[in-house]
Amino acid sequence: MRVGMGYDVHRLVEGRKLVMGGVEIPYEKGLLGHSDADVILHAIIDALLGAAALGDIGKHFPDNDDRYKGISSIELLKQVGKLIDSNNYIIENIDGTIVAQEPKMSPYIDDMRKNIADALGLDINQVNVKATTEEGLGFTGTCEGISSQAIASISPIFNYVYDNSTDVLNPTSKLESTDVKDCDKCTGCSGCQKK
C-alpha cells in the first residue's frame, strides 16, 4: 500500500461561485483560482498523485494553461483517476478535511462524497469528507480563505487477483504479477504489464 497527502488553500473573494467537492454552495464569496478553485478536490488530487509518486496538480494542470481556465475540478479528478489506473494502481480510500469558518459544509458533505466516488469509480464508503473551523483563528478563521487537507491510499494492481466466482478484485498476500489470471477482466485496469 502507498499513501499520499495533499494540501491546498484558496482565497475567498466576491464575484466567484463557491464550489466544494463538485457542489455549488450558496455563499456571498467564492474561491479565487485558475480553475473553479475547488480546494478539497485539489487536495485530493495532490494526495493521489503523491501516493503514486506522479508529482502534483501544478505539474499536470498548470495555472498558465488556458485549457484549465475555469475548468471543473471534477474533470481534473477524473483525469487523475485515469492516470492512477494507467500506472497500475487501485485507489483504496480517500479522507479529506475542509477548514472553513463559514459557510457550514455539513449539509453538502454526502453530495461531495458521491461526486468524488463517481468521478473515480469508487464506492462511496471509500471516500470520507469532513469539515472543521479554526475557532476564528488564522486566515480561515477570519474568512479570508479556505484550506483543505487530504490523504489517499492506493495499492498496485498486482496485489489483487480477479475472482471469477464473485466478479470482483480481491486482495491477496504475496501475489506475484506473473500469477495474475484473467487480468483483462479487471474493470478500470489498463492490463498487467508482466502478464
CATH code for the domain in which residue 10 is found: 3.30.1330.50
Q: Is residue 179 assigned to a domain?
A: no
Domain with 97 in it: 2-159
Beta strands in the chain (DSSP E): 2-13, 18-20, 23-25, 30-31, 89-99, 127-132, 145-156, 160-163, 168-171
Compute the distance between CA of residue 54 and CA of residue 56 in angstroms, rounded to an integer.
Answer: 7
Residue 173: inside a domain, yes or no? Answer: no
Give the mean pLDDT of the chain.
86
The predicted-structure confidence for 154-184, as pLDDT tens digits, reads as follows 999 887 655 555 555 555 444 444 444 445 5
How far out from the chain centre does Cα 180 lie? 28
Which residues belong to the annotated binding site?
8-10, 34-35, 42, 56-58, 61-65, 132-135, 139
Contact call for residues 37 and 31 (beta carbons, < 8 A): yes
Is 32 a domain residue?
Answer: yes
Interval 5-11 mean pLDDT? 97
Domain assignment present for residue 100? The answer is yes
Question: Is residue 186 a part of any domain in this protein?
Answer: no
Binding site for a divalent metal cation: what residues are annotated? 8, 10, 42
Q: Is residue 123 part of a domain?
A: yes
Confidence (pLDDT) at 190:
47
Poorest-pLDDT segment among 8-12, 29-33, 66-70, 96-100: 66-70
Q: What is the pTM of this model?
A: 0.82
| Those residues with Cβ within 8 angstroms of residue 171's Cβ, 6 or more apart along the chain or in another chain | 155, 159, 160
Number of domains comprising the chain = 1
